[in-house]
Structure 1
């Protein structure tokens, strides 16, 4: 059979839906507090800590974990002033084991695949998904096959993926071409797909907002701002927030903003025009490689959750704005890849446009590590060595 088990007959993506019977939020809060002391069990993971809302029925022996999650939430006055809000927090998903938020979802996807008996895992990727998948597949003693579009990918991410032992297939075309191939042929190739079309990826990525709420004692800021590439993170964020509210963990829902890069912003364009059907960007182009996606697989789900259920907003920022914000985040000692800086640039724009009030609070999700796109990091070193002397060093320092 040619097809993909995660695609509905209507062409949309399947979703994990649970009845949520017998959930006692106060008891679970206490249980999760207790699990913060775990060190060498699956519950030391910042994803599987919340197993009761992630994948309650999965037997523990199938869980493949590197204690992902557990990422920092940093207040920063410098970037709060830059964006114009009263208080700003940066959720550094870049501190995950493979260096990106993809680990939150990938641990669940690979664990689910193992429970079905799969030993070969696959994805199409511009970089972060592939390095995460390759890491978890290797950890599980399985193999991974990664399809890489021929242009506009990060060499740093590809090297990381290769180091974990993935089989790399470089193809002519875009990310969207690779996704179409996986939809058609993953089953006959015996490959378990770990792209964001996989609903168990979404379940794992919900843990980002669970952990943020846990860190903030179940009171979230007025806004959560997230970059939008494949839109799986936006989907997971929306689904997770609604579940937290429905189950009584939080009393108030934050508003959500999804930020895309101008050269790859079909979702923002659709929302700003009031349309309900996405027109793909045939040749996406942005310095933020993780956002360089012209036809986001999860756009329907993101539209449903972020726009339909949460009355969220979108924005589009230039590469120049992204790099300016990235430089500021880097110099604050936190650091991020370009795609992660898009939320900070987007929040600044939303404050300027009057969408976000200066007295409101916000959290920006930094999705990838500083070293994920080393090609874009500017060098500030002298291009040639000097004779090391006090005079020579003073001369260089006086120029800086």
Structure 2
């Protein structure tokens, strides 16, 4: 059996009721869900998870709710809001492997989720929980991926969504996607962090259920990314899991999932985690390399990788403790290095948004420095879809494409010249 034992503050340990909807403790610490595992038959659960792979409709067709027993065992099935999220591809690319210089690399394309990002894995659980508590208004602050995911699930549930979006350094594609799903989108002067502070202060007064990563149910859903990765690899994970770091919720979610898999005997060893941040938005990496225990926020973060353009990541304490406990590392990469890695991923036929490409850029850097051994193996988590940020594609590709646009009718000789015949 797997029971949802309690909701507790990560900092002080105080227990909270489920009806709190789970944001922060009075001490300011984040809340987390602690499962109580007793008498778990791991082999039986493996068989159940495998059988659910054949589901095509219903909640267990989801790559998140497939693992319901490990995520939210007590939630009634009728409360689940799902769009069959998860079930994303795991790919190899020889060109990327050679460019990075490792023995073996996999790319886990969370970009193939229904709204185009990994946020769906957590959002299905958060919105399902909120609806089960009777909420009909959902909110988030977002640089784009969270808002479009929230808007999609709220629409599926027949509920309202309210999104706080900074006016600068965001992708218009993500905002348009959010609007298309019907969200009330509120632009404001400031950063993602200002949006978080606003609804933490006024959210309850407005009757909003908060769906950012400070919500522990989001974290529970995001654990499914590593569950699915492990199942796809027959429960034998690679030496490293590499992922981009913005709010750092994904780091803590995957770490929590890995610890549970190890404790239950699904995996035999713990992989190491590498967190890659964009240089212009890397307060967590800066803290680590300077040997500090406290994070100093970047007041004005700046990077083309808008999905990780976060100066004060809410989950930094959890991420710090996780890397210290399981043996992990961090690095930062420039916007130029991100674009170079993105070109490799796009040309491999997989594709991703800039923040996702930070994983390959970072792994390449860690291998070159000797932090990651060339004979080791790694899985890079690609968090967002190629079309999430077409401004980047326009700036990097369109100018060259325009040079190949004929000013007259199609001409065989011109085309032969272009293709080298």
- 1:297-352 superposed Cα distances (whole Å, 9 cap, x missing partner): 111111122x2221210000000000000000000000000000001000011111
Selected match of 1:310 from 310, 316, 326: 326
Paired position in structure 1 for 2:128: 111
Selected match of 1:327 from 337, 343, 364: 343
Paired position in structure 2 for 1:18: 35
Determine the C-alpha separation between the residues in 2 that align with 1:358 and 1:392: 44
- 1:49-74 superposed Cα distances (whole Å, 9 cap, x missing partner): 00000100000011000000000000
Selected match of 2:160 from 143, 150, 174: 143
Deviation at 1:4, TM superposition (A): 8.2
Paired position in structure 1 for 2:11: none
Selected match of 2:363 from 335, 342, 347: 347
Paired position in structure 1 for 2:417: 395
Superposition TM-score, scaled by structure 1 size: 0.97
Determine the C-alpha separation between the residues in 2 that align with 1:321 and 1:188: 44
Paired position in structure 1 for 2:374: 358
Q: Following superposition of structure 1 onto structure 2, how do residues 213-224 of structure 1 map, counting pairs within 5 Å?
A: 213-224=230-241
- Structure 2: which 5+ residue stretches go unaligned? 1-19
Secondary structure class of the residue paired with 1:117: coil
Contact 2:21 2:130 in 1 (8 A): no
- Structure 1: which 5+ residue stretches go unaligned? none
Determine if the alignment matches structure 1 residue 157 to structure 2 residue 179. no
Q: Following superposition of structure 1 onto structure 2, how do residues 18-167 of structure 1 map, counting pairs within 5 Å?
A: 18-167=35-184
- CA RMSD of superposed structures (Å): 1.2
Residue correspondences, number: 396
Selected match of 2:185 from 140, 162, 168: 168
Secondary structure class of the residue paired with 2:262: helix
Determine the C-alpha separation between the residues in 2 that align with 1:314 and 1:272: 8
Secondary structure class of the residue paired with 2:381: strand
Deviation at 1:271, TM superposition (A): 1.1
Contact 1:4 1:183 in 2 (8 A): no
- 1:332-385 superposed Cα distances (whole Å, 9 cap, x missing partner): 000000000001000011111111000000000000000001000122323543
Contact 1:267 1:278 in 2 (8 A): yes
Determine the C-alpha separation between the residues in 1 that align with 2:131 and 2:175: 24
Secondary structure class of the residue paired with 2:331: strand
Secondary structure class of the residue paired with 1:17: strand
Superposition TM-score, scaled by structure 2 size: 0.92
Deviation at 1:396, TM superposition (A): 3.1
Secondary structure class of the residue paired with 2:416: helix
